């Protein structure tokens, strides 16, 4: 029983033949045809006594095989033919048959021939009752030399396989016909880190992902049932607990009769390969997604002008839903579309963007108008493109397309709007010029025509006072004086208004003004008015950029105001100072008069705004508006700080003249 596994799979035909002969003997017919059958059987047939163990009958095949004649054999027992058996062990083997515990005992023996050589025989041994009630043991034997040789060859082949598969980089194994494994190569154990015990039989399943195992088993069982080569890829867990993907292939190994006796399997590690493939696939997928979803159109062509790919955006720009036949090559494309420059000149096909790219040109934002010939479809597209060579005179041309129709329309609309705007601006300007002219005429009229009647009123009230002085009583004279005062105020208003409007209308000049000289000249005009006022002037020596007339108006009005509003102070004081700063100078006019409430700050520079009753502080309400206007016209500004009852200070800011550098600033305090 060296190869119990093999015995399981021994050919069914052999067993049935032995059984047949046994049945013939069992039927008790050892004579006639039965006897002939035994005599001519190819199997060895022995009958030996249950007590003495001596052979009673040995058929001719057995006699021939052994090289003994029957006469000699009658004196011999099975123990003489198989030296490995002693009587005790042999009888022990026979005992279950005698006791009726077993019907048949099967065993193999190596029989000694007469010439001393040996040969293997498989025996089916049973108790046999002959006619007449005499019981003997019937042994039917079969020469198994051939079979044993095959088994050895198979074993050798297997060993060779083992040796071979231990040298290959794959994992390898041998499985029984039912799929249970009997052997693994060293690499299997190295990879899995498992022991032989763990892997025995169905232990290999432990290396599988439990989720995938049912699928593997299904395929494996299918292969077994179909007796077909098994081919499958699945992950196997390594000693480190990580799965790697293996390509598994198992081939059936058949015996001489064509029955599958083994499966020889290998597992090839394809993990890195598959990962690389997967990575490449993923990259490709990502590129595909990007390509399909980008808002720019993309058309790919090979060097034979075949259009290989259109992305979704490109299709949309051409008003097609799929890249059908018409979009497969340039010629059919040319029959469907027309390209022209933005000026409307139709492009011949040789100047089409893709052709230019294919000719090696690198295109950047070429703007063209595309028209579909069979329907109303016009877009303005911007083409860019380049070639990508991959050697061997092959390569691809990539054309990216932007749909700039809306942008162009917007630009056009903007251009129209601009032209329209320019027209409107011109129109408005003309209207403004007309208005300005009208205003000038108006001012002229005011200046001329309002003054003439005033002169009449003043002149005649004066004449009345003079010539009719005696005839008027005191009240009458007061009335006339009031008429003249009102006329005076009206005259002042007109003068100021005219001055204000003149500031507005004249183009301010810009000259370099030496401020210290300018201010002392200006103060000269006030000398009569100053009276008991303390006047302090601190003006550094520098030049400002100003319109002298406008600056004079601004300063004169501020000084007028300072004098007017400090009139009731116990000791009126006015301080005028000017300092050059960073690119600008600041002139301040400070008084110790009644000041104003900063709540009304917003109002003070507005025309006709007054904070005091006219009989307290006479004025037209135009002075500060004029200061504001003058500063505005010179690119300067004016602001003020005050506290009711605590005087006020007004500031003027003006740009310094570039001549400032040549003068040395110094304080110049003094009384004028």
> By the criterion CB under 8 A, which residues form the site for other proteins?
443-444, 447-449, 451-456, 458-460, 462-463, 487-488, 491, 498, 502, 506
Closest approach of other proteins to the CB of residue 633, in Å: 15
Closest approach of other proteins to the CB of residue 503, in Å: 12
**Both tokens of residue 335?**
């029959």
- In the complex with other proteins, the residue whose CB is nearer, 7 or 491, is 491
Residue among 607, 572, 606, 578 at smallest CA distance from 592: 572
- In the complex with other proteins, the residue whose CB is nearer, 28 or 459, is 459
**Collapsed DSSP state (helix, strand, coil) of residue 95:** helix
Closest approach of other proteins to the CB of residue 517, in Å: 25
Closest approach of other proteins to the CB of residue 406, in Å: 54
- In the complex with other proteins, the residue whose CB is nearer, 361 or 492, is 492
- In the complex with other proteins, the residue whose CB is nearer, 303 or 460, is 460
Distances (CA, A) of 227 to 44, 174, 224, 230, 470: 36, 15, 5, 9, 155
Residue 352 burial class via C-beta count within 10 angstroms: exposed 0-12, middle 13-18, buried 19 and up:
buried
- In the complex with other proteins, the residue whose CB is nearer, 350 or 448, is 448
- In the complex with other proteins, the residue whose CB is nearer, 91 or 502, is 502
Report angle CA 622, 514, 670 to the nearest 5 degrees: 85
Residue among 333, 342, 352 at smallest CA distance from 412: 342
What backbone phi and psi angles, to 5 degrees, belong to 286? -60, -45
- In the complex with other proteins, the residue whose CB is nearer, 405 or 510, is 510
- In the complex with other proteins, the residue whose CB is nearer, 198 or 504, is 504
Beta strands in 255-376 (DSSP E): 260-269, 297-302, 307-310, 337-340, 363-372
Distance CA 94, CA 358 (A): 96
Closest approach of other proteins to the CB of residue 563, in Å: 22
Residue 299 burial class via C-beta count within 10 angstroms: exposed 0-12, middle 13-18, buried 19 and up:
buried
Q: β-strands 260-269, 171-175: how paired?
A: antiparallel
Closest approach of other proteins to the CB of residue 441, in Å: 10
Q: State whether the Cα torsion 477-483-486-491 is positive or negative.
A: negative
Residue among 248, 305, 245, 231 at smallest CA distance from 277: 245
CB 301 within 8 A of CB 294: no
Closest approach of other proteins to the CB of residue 488, in Å: 7
Closest approach of other proteins to the CB of residue 481, in Å: 13
Q: State whether the Cα torsion 625-631-634-636 is positive or negative.
A: negative
Other residues' Cβ atoms within 10 Å of the Cβ of residue 170: 19
Distance CA 214, CA 216 (A): 5
Closest approach of other proteins to the CB of residue 464, in Å: 11
Closest approach of other proteins to the CB of residue 585, in Å: 28
- In the complex with other proteins, the residue whose CB is nearer, 449 or 474, is 449
b/e 399-419 (16+ beta carbons within 10 angstroms → b):
bbbbbbbeebeeeeeeeeeee
CB 211 within 8 A of CB 226: no
Closest approach of other proteins to the CB of residue 621, in Å: 20
- In the complex with other proteins, the residue whose CB is nearer, 453 or 661, is 453
- In the complex with other proteins, the residue whose CB is nearer, 459 or 661, is 459
């Amino acid at each position: 029983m060296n190869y119990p596994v093999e015995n399981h799979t021994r050919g069914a035909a052999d067993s049935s033949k032995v059984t047949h002969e046994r049945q013939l003997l069992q039927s008790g017919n050892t004579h006639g045809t039965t006897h002939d059958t035994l005599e001519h059987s190819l199997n060895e047939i022995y009958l030996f006594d249950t007590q003495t163990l001596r052979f009673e009958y040995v058929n001719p095949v057995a006699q021939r095989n052994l090289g003994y004649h029957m006469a000699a054999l009658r004196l011999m027992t099975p123990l003489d033919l198989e030296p490995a058996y002693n009587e005790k062990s042999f009888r022990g083997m026979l005992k279950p048959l005698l006791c009726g515990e077993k019907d048949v005992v099967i065993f193999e023996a190596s029989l000694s021939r007469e010439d001393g050589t040996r040969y293997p025989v498989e025996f089916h041994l049973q108790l046999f009752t002959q006619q007449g009630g005499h019981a003997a043991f019937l042994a039917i034997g079969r020469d198994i030399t051939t079979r044993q040789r095959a088994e050895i060859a198979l074993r050798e082949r297997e060993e060779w396989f083992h040796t071979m598969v231990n040298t290959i980089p794959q994992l390898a194994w041998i499985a029984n016909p039912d799929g249970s494994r009997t052997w693994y190569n060293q690499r299997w154990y190295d990879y899995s880190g498992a022991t032989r015990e763990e892997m025995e039989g169905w232990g290999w399943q432990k290396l599988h992902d439990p989720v995938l195992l049912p699928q593997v088993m299904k395929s494996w069982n299918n292969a077994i049932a179909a007796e077909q080569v098994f081919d499958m890829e699945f992950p196997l867990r390594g000693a480190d607990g990580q799965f790697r993907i293996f390509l598994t292939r198992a081939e059936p190994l058949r015996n001489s009769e064509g029955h599958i006796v083994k499966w020889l399997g290998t597992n090839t590690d394809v993990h890195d390969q598959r990962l690389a493939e997967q990575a490449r696939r993923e990259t490709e997928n990502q590129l595909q997604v990007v390509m399909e979803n980008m808002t720019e159109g993309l058309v790919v062509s090979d060097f034979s002008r075949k259009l290989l790919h259109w992305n979704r955006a490109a299709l949309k720009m051409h008003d097609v839903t799929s890249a059908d036949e018409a979009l497969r090559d340039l010629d059919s494309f040319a029959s469907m579309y027309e390209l022209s420059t933005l000026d409307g000149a139709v492009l011949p096909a040789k100047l089409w963007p893709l052709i230019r790219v294919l000719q090696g040109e690198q295109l950047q934002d070429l703007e063209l108008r595309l028209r579909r010939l069979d329907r109303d479809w016009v877009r303005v597209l911007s083409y860019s493109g380049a070639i990508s060579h991959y050697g061997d005179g092959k390569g691809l041309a990539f054309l990216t397309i932007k749909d700039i129709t809306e942008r162009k329309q917007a630009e056009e609309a903007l251009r129209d709007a601009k032209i329209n705007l320019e027209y409107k601006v011109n129109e408005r300007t003309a209207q403004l010029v007309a208005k300005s002219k009208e205003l000038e005429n108006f001012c002229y009229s005011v200046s001329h025509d309002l003054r003439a009647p005033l002169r009449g009123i003043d002149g005649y009230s004066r004449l009345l006072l003079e010539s009719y002085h005696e005839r008027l009583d005191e009240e009458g004279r007061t009335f006339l004086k009031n008429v003249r005062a009102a006329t005076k105020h009206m005259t002042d208003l007109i003068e100021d208004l005219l001055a204000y409007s003149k500031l507005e209308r004249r183009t301010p000049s810009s000259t370099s003004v030496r401020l210290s000289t300018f201010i002392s000249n200006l103060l000269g005009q006030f000398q009569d008015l100053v009276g008991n006022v303390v006047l302090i002037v601190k003006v550094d020596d520098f030049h400002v950029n100003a319109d002298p007339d406008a600056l004079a108006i601004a300063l004169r009005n501020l000084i007028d105001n300072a004098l007017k509003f400090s009139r009731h102070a116990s000791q009126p004081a006015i301080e005028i100072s000017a300092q050059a700063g960073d690119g600008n100078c600041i002139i301040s006019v400070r008084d110790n008069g009644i000041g104003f409430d900063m709540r009304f700050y917003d109002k003070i520079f507005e025309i006709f705004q007054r904070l005091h009753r006219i009989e307290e502080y006479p004025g037209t309400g135009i002075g500060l508006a004029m200061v504001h206007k003058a500063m505005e016209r010179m690119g300067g500004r004016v602001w003020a700080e005050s506290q009711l009852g605590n005087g006020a200070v007004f500031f003027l800011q003006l740009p310094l003249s570039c001549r400032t550098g040549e003068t040395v600033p110094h304080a110049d305090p003094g009384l004028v």
